[in-house]
Structure 1
Amino acid sequence: MSAPMENQIRNLRLAFENGKITRDLYAKNLLRLLELSEHPTAQKVAAAFIVGRIDQALLVRNLGNLRPPSPPAPDPLDLPPPP
């Protein structure tokens, strides 16, 4: 996850925790930032959060589990030699 995205997620979390945005706005923006807006299971998890069936910690954990794994780092042996 890139640093700007982490900052946006942190700012979004702080805004929600300080009561500046609603559950609905928090969930929808978190889905967008995590690139899960079109994921059907992520939408169901967000809907459960919005109506209060799950808390923020469970929302974040479940969405984190739905994210595709980041591509593995290239094997140093496969990289071309330095110039």
Structure 2
Amino acid sequence: MPGKSKRTWLINIRTKKGLTQEEVSKISGIERSTYAKAELGNSVSVSTAKSISSALGFSWTYFFDGYCDDKGRNESDSA
């Protein structure tokens, strides 16, 4: 699908924490398929973005503002 790309930054954050998609989905309170779709680049609701970001420890706005590069953060993000 044009314009849709994998969220490698999200995958990197999850794997650096040593978590599976299933574990993140349980912590987030969402279905594993919903989480998997988020990693694949599908659109997510604000509620889903907040749940995932809370579980993984980043700002939910990363899903919407193009803030992250492939490393999971922008050059100016020092956190």
Instruction: State the TM-score, normalizing by the size of structure 2.
Output: 0.34
Compare relative contact order (CA 8 Å, sep 6+) and give the higher one, 1 or 2. 2
Higher helix share: 1
Instruction: State the TM-score, normalizing by the size of structure 1.
Output: 0.33
Bigger Rg over Cα: 1
